[in-house]
Structure 1
Amino acid sequence: MQIYTTLVQDELRAVAGEIQRLEHAGYDGVLTQENRHDPFLPLGVAAVNSDRLRLGTGVAIAFPRSPMVMANLGWDLQAASKGRFELGLGTQVKGHNERRFSVPWSAPVPRLKEYIGALRAIWRSWKTGAPLAFDGEHYRFTLMTPNFTPEAMPFSPPPVTMAAVGPAMLRLAGEVADGVRLHAFCTRKYFQNAVLPQLQTGLDRAGRNRASLQVSGGGFVVTGATDAEVERSIEFHRQRIAFYGSTRAYWPVLEQHDLLDVGEQLNAMARQSQWRDMPAVISDDVLQLFCAIGRHDQIATQIESRFAGLADAVSDSASYEMPGRLPAQVIEDIRAIPMAFQGFSAGA
């Protein structure tokens, strides 16, 4: 199994030292998020200050950026990192696209499928010198001259992973993506009964096998060096689970466990702005459904119990404010857990 963590994003001057610390510890990769800060800038610093770690966006929001803009970002980071970049994309919801990013909204699944196709067409043109000729419903790219073509690089274009929650997006991930980043609001039962069948449907559509798709996430990892640190992390994650549980879009997860009443209670509390009281609704039993929990000396066993046979990669951090601190031996124990994924295609 692969183990990722988050990378500092609020202070670019701290990135070089942090990426070297994480590389020395033995992590497989780092991820950035598109929340308060740009997800690409820290990865540029990390690319030229590390040698081994995979560097990924987990995730960057697709539609506010033209596929051409995204193609440039991906190409440059792949070149700078010498082939270690992973472009993770997400669609976000309608409200954020229209009101936070001020971009038009349309059905996200067909649009993202076309977006990924456009990205790969641009990269193929840059890689092979073939004329750029992509004509879709949402995107059209037909102009590429030497002045706008990046310098050649000896690496394949970066793999494209995507966030997926609903059935249609999960099927799309299986069909066209190199990897899928699952939402952490996920239980093992939901993973088995709802997520994997949809991914397999997409894989079957494309004539692919499971080993070609990196499946990451699908739950929380709650850990710390001491019992007190674990307890603090538990309360942080209890709050996150309560927040997600109040949102109707995530209720299919609760329904797998006959916990719809919990979602309805949280939703009613959210509408009354009772945010501080909501974590108390999440019992320890419910918390265990969503999390692998344990001290550093316990967490590898807990991750194996919670994720083995399902996920190929997990992250020990849900925020750059909580940087990964796993000891090197624990990371090795996690990496020894078997996974289905056999690596990104050389043509990714």
Structure 2
Amino acid sequence: MKLDAGLAVEGKHLPRIAEAAREAESLGFAGLFASETKHDSFLPLALAAEHTRRIQLGNSVAIAFSRSPMVTAQLAWDLQDFSGGRLLLGLGTQVRAHIERRFSMPWGRPVARLRDYLGALRAIWHSFQTGEPLQYEGEFYRHTLITPFFNPGPIEHPEIPVYIAGVNPGLCRLAGEACEGFHVHPFHSPEYVRRVVLPAVEEGAAKAGRSTGEVELATSVFVITGESSEEAERQRERMRAQLAFYASTPTYRVVLEVHGWERVGEELSKLAAAKKWEEMPKLVSDEMLAAFAVEAAPDELGAAVRERYEGLIGRVAFYLPFEPGENRAFWRAAVRSVGG
């Protein structure tokens, strides 16, 4: 099992990326991932690539539908070349409201659209690498023009692994069918992975004549830890609020259904619609907290995460910010414990 680090991207984050990347590599993390909430996820990876030599670099995740496949193809191609083949391109669909109202882009049939997007990406990369004419005509995307002036040309590592993210079975099946990896949403439980994610990935892989072993599962794990009982309790309550937020999202109801907690999700959705944020965490029971988060002392957390996910998930990250210069002993021990 591999332990990855997530880049902290709050505030003026770009000036600190080089330091964070160097430290993550020195501590032995397998990968360094940039999210895409307040900031773009590609710029930090370019800086990280410049200041590291070994660690893998990925998006967790870049929003596919906010960009043309050509834009994403160019960004990924340059990053793959610059990093010496260390890119793990992570793509997500987001949800209708954000695509239509935040990005002002079209939405509809997200699984089919993302399948077409992946086909377009690979057609573009093939043209970049071989110089052959670009001739991709899909249901949603059409790319039929690229002249030598606009073709960046071949690179040493043209095979770019693509990981997609999702919650519902349709995107899990697409990962099995057409991707090298799948980002399991942080709002998950091992039981949900076993009963929903893995069967759907296997179904998609079988459809494409692949094995599930060709698709690596990655996730970010909710963790609760602390040097004192008071600190652990503060984290426990913050995590309760985070889980309440995710569980209120109707799109994620499939995770709750595995445990028979659909009614809790419905009640949380009503509270969220009424903006009664402070009441929401009260509906997240200790049983739910234990299902969705790993709780352990700092020196035991890595082993606890490994025990929960061994044989289930290939690479994990803690749902904690990785800050350069902070908690080095904790992170070094976690890397050793998770990696075995």
Superposed pair shares fold, TM > 0.5? yes
Query: Aligned-pair RMSD on alpha carbons?
Result: 2.0
1:181-207 deviation digits (Å, cap 9, x = unpaired):
011111111111111111100010111
Shift in alpha-carbon separation, 1:101–1:318, aligned structure 2, 3 A: farther
**One-letter amino acid of the structure 2 residue matched with residue 76 of structure 1:** D
* Greater CA drift, 126-135 or 12-21: 126-135
- Find the aligned partners of 1:157 and 1:225 in 2 and give their Cα distance: 44
- Matched with 1:121 is 123
Paired residue type of 1:279: P
1:333 pairs with 2:334: no
Equivalent-residue separation in structure 1 for 2:262 and 2:305 (angstroms): 26
Q: What SS does the aligned partner of 1:52 have?
A: coil
Task: Tell me the residue number matched to 2:5.
Answer: 5
Return closer, same or farther for 1:125/1:200 CA change in 2, 3 Å cut-off.
Answer: same
Q: Does 1:51 align with 2:83?
A: no
The code of the aligned residue for 2:339 comes to: R
- After superposition, residues 253-268 of structure 1 pair within 5 angstroms as 253-268=255-270
Q: What residue in structure 2 maps to residue 185 of structure 1? A: 187
- Contact 1:186–1:218, Cα closer than 8 Å, also in 2: no
1:82 shift after superposition: 0.8
- When residues 320 and 282 of structure 1 are mapped into structure 2, their CA distance, relative to the original with a 3 A threshold, is same
In structure 2, the partner of 1:216 is: 218
Q: How has the CA–CA distance of structure 1 residues 317 and 5 changed in structure 2, closer, same or farther, with 3 Å as cutoff?
A: farther
Q: How does 1:307-322 map to 2 (within 5 A)?
A: 307-317=309-319
| Whole-angstrom distance in 2 between the partners of 1:294 and 1:278 | 25
Q: Which range moved further: 326-335 or 179-188?
A: 326-335
Residues 94-243 of structure 1: pairs in structure 2 closer than 5 A: 94-217=96-219, 219-224=221-226, 227-243=229-245
Of residues 208-217 and 322-331 in structure 1, the stretch that sits farther from structure 2 once superposed is 322-331
- Rounded Cα–Cα distance in structure 1 between residues aligned with 2:115 and 2:48: 29
SS in 2 for 1:207: coil
2:74 is aligned to 72
Shift of 1:271: 2.3
Residue 59 of structure 2 contacts residue 88 of structure 2 at CA under 8 Å; is this kept in 1?
A: yes
Indicate the SS of the match to 1:63.
helix
CA distance in 1, matches of 2:214, 2:248: 34
SS of alignment partner, residue 5 of structure 1: strand
Counterpart amino acid of residue 93 in structure 2: T
Structure 1: stretches of 5+ with no match in the other structure? 337-348
The answer on whether the counterparts of 2:125 and 2:158 sit within 8 Å (CA) in structure 1 is no
Q: Deviations over 1:102-147 (max 9, x none)?
A: 0111211111001001101111111122221111121111212221
Q: Secondary structure at the match of 2:4?
A: strand
SS of alignment partner, residue 296 of structure 2: strand
Partners of 2:130 and 2:154 within 8 A in 1 = no
Give the Cα separation in 1 of the matches to 2:228 and 2:81. 40
AA matched with 1:99: R
Write the deviation string for residues 50-106 of structure 1: whole angstroms up to 9, x where unpaired. Answer: 111111110011112111110110011111111111110011111111100001112
**Equivalent residue for 2:299?**
297
* Counterpart code for 1:116: L
**Structure 2: stretches of 5+ with no match in the other structure:** none
Identical positions, percent: 41
* TM-score normalized with structure 2 length: 0.93
Map of 1:91 onto structure 2? 93
Cα deviation for residue 249 of structure 1 reads 2.1
SS in 1 for 2:65: coil
Corresponding residue SS for 2:290: helix
What secondary structure does 2:218 align onto? strand
SS of 1:68 mapped into structure 2: helix
Amino acid at match of 2:120: A
Deviations 1:308-328 (A, max 9, x none): 221111111355789885432
Corresponding position of 1:246? 248
Cα 1:129–1:226 shift into 2, 3 Å: farther
Q: TM-score, normalised by structure 1?
A: 0.91
Change (3 A) 1:262 1:181: same
Q: How many residues align?
A: 336
CA–CA distance in 2 between the matches of 1:331 and 1:135?
45
The alpha carbon displacement at 1:228 in A equals 4.6
In structure 1, what is the Cα distance between the partners aligned to 2:24 and 2:227? 16
What residue is the counterpart of 2:276 in the other structure? 274
Instruction: State which drifts further: 304-313 or 25-34.
Output: 304-313
SS at match of 1:130: coil
Counterpart of 1:18? Answer: 20
Do 1:222 and 1:316's aligned partners in 2 also have CA atoms closer than 8 Å? no
Residue aligned with 1:236, SS: helix
Change (3 A) 1:218 1:44: closer
Query: Which amino acid counterpart does residue 79 of structure 1 have in structure 2?
Result: D
